[in-house]
Structure 1
Amino acid sequence: MLEYSAPERPQIFLADFRADPQRYPLSTPSGKIELFSATVAGFGYRECPGHPWWDEQEAARQRQEAARWPLHLLSSQPRARLHSQYDHGSVSRATKIQGREPLWMHPSDAQARDIREGSVVKVYNDRGAILAGVHLSEQILPGVVQMSTGAWYDPLDPNEKGTLDKHGNPNVLTEDRGSSRLGQGCSAQSCWVEIAPWREALPPITAFDPPRFIEV
């Protein structure tokens, strides 16, 4: 067991710099808060001009996707596990709907698609398709749906490219590309999708089954 004593004063971000910027400069080239980075601009990347900007080229591409897929899927961090860790545990499984990862949507979007609370739906776009269980809530905006990341990938046919994920991992639907050539950060937090009721028999969840070669 480790014990930590409480700090004598609150930890306030940039408090020393604000009190005495000459004595406590920042680690930027100027030692100050910078709204423009000559270093970043010097790389010559179109999408990284050295300051925040509106990328009309990217916005136009997003508008084209939205015209085909009318629902904006946001994939946030889960409350019942750490990323994908312990998805097989009882706490995470208790949040599932008919064994599938929950998806939150506005009642008006559900009504337009003949979708009901607690039903299973197919969430899809031109990158793939997954199954999810539905929660209806007026706390989410019309035109927006939300799923958590981290459900263990469970392909219907592992040998088929683009096969349905039975369990509900939104990574099947999001783009696999870096946020920019400079940062290469994760850009998988949102995408455009359509949703339809799943009217076929539900395939069994096998994501938590151990591989055959280690069964004894």
Structure 2
Amino acid sequence: MTRIGPLRRGLLLATGLLVAAGGSLTAATAATATADAAGTPAAPHAAATAPAAATAASGQRTTVAFLVDGCNRCHVRLYQAVRGRQHVWESRAHRVREGRVSFDIATRHTHGLSASVTAPWEGNTGAVTQIAFRYAHEPVDAQVTNREASHKHRASGCWAGTTRTAALLDLTVRRVRVPGVDGSPTTAARAWIATTVPWWKPMLHAYRGILGAQDVIFCERP
């Protein structure tokens, strides 16, 4: 799993970049991550649907594609960590090319899916940037601008997933100046789905719309 450490935890908590215990920060020491298949060509648009993983056939696969605005050299990695399960699934990191990155994964892994973004221009924030799939008070299908995202303080990093064979998500990434681990200003990434999708709890603290974690987010099945 992606993990940052050791950290000056007190400073990170003070700046709000690191989620406190009981949020997305977990030990996850028993988790064994398994990589899934490589990226696939562009997929047609498909809206996210209900979160019940059981509705998808056990062998069904889904192409999850992100249209990325703001970071053509970012790397994106997917995770599925569901509270109450010991197993954590993890994809390989895929690089954004020409504004797009895609994954061919088992449909069941989309339910409770989280994702990290690594930007080449990020400084030492001491946390891994997570994609905010939904900001507090935003309904499904709401359009969230950069200005609106910058004023958000709560976000979910968990996608409810889909039962379809393809899903296309609009991912926006923006550079933000924040205090680094040594207290001096550095550059962080704000990453969010611009069109709000169905989501799972928990809702976590987001500093200026930035959702960061030291470890994977454990999502809570409804």
Instruction: Say which structure is richer in helix.
Output: 1
**Which fold has the larger relative contact order, with Cα–Cα distance below 8 Å and residues 6 or more apart in sequence?**
2
Length-normalised TM-score, structure 2: 0.26
Q: TM-score, normalised by structure 1?
A: 0.26
More strand by share: 2
